[in-house]
A and B are shown apart, each in its own frame.
Chain A
Amino acid sequence: METAMAFLTGLFFATSLYLMLSKHIIRVLLGVAVLGNAVNLTIFTTGRLTREIPPIIPDDAVVPIDAIANPLPQALVLTAIVISFSFFAFLLVLVFRSYQELGTDDTDEMREAEPVDEPAPPLGY
């Protein structure tokens, strides 16, 4: 099962890297979103995959008796999902706003902060 998940995460990473190499900012945004999911799947897989046995300890024991599903990666993934979701929302608004203001989604043409024709510093008094 881990092997199949490894291939799946590999596919996710390949997709996101391909998208992020684009110079169009909207594709980069999609790439970042896919990357977040790729990482979440990685966390989930590194926590070892088990069948759905709830991590509940019986009343008369202090440690789980059988092997249980690891609850920690789920908590981590949940936190990471929440964070990447809010970042995606923020970036979406940011990209939309900069597209409106700058009139382009091509990163090569986004030279507002670093103008092409900036003068060299004075070389003498």
Chain B
Amino acid sequence: MRTLIFRTVAPFLSSLMILFSVFVLLRGHNEPGGGFIGGLIAASALAIYGIAFGVSPVRRAIRFHPMALAGFGLLLAAIAGILSIFSHVPFLTGLWIYPKIFGVEVALSTPMMFDIGVYFVVFGSITSTALALEERERD
């Protein structure tokens, strides 16, 4: 698998896929996409990188352990639910704010935060499974 062509292309392919996964994540509220599929795309990006360069460069590249990222996502999703306590609505209610950033109205919401949490959970857990399987093949 570690051909010259593949090793040259893999970094570009991986970075493009991660960029695309963020795009899919953010368009997910009103159009096809969302945290789950975004996380899967990002995880497959790292899997490709892992096939090309081995598992330890991937672990170095993402800095944190994939399961820690999954934990962060879980925390984010839980907090997205808790926030509704402060505005006195039932748990997990979607709350929206529309701040103006550089003159552009940006819609920020707790469903989006939940979705980002899902993204990290999927990304982290699938990456750790994939890396574990790839590691075992090399034994």
Contacts and interface: CB of A to CB of B under 8 A. Distances in A.
Contacts of B44: none
Interface residues of B, number: 6
Interface string A29-47: 0000000000000000000
Q: Which secondary structure characterizes the binding site on chain B?
A: helix
A109 to B, nearest CB: 23
Contacts, number: 7
A86 B132 contact: no
A93 B125 CA distance: 13
Nearest to A86: B125
A93 B129 contact: yes
B36 A93 contact: no
Interface of B: 36, 125-126, 129, 132-133
Interface of A: 82, 86, 89, 93
Contacts of B126: 89
Contacts of A89: 126, 129
A59 to B, nearest CB: 16
A4 B129 CA distance: 38
A77 to B, nearest CB: 13
B92 to A, nearest CB: 15
A82 B122 CA distance: 10
A37 B7 CA distance: 37
Contacts of A86: 125
Identify the 7 closest CB pairs spanning chains A and B, nearest first: A89-B129, A82-B36, A93-B129, A93-B133, A93-B132, A86-B125, A89-B126
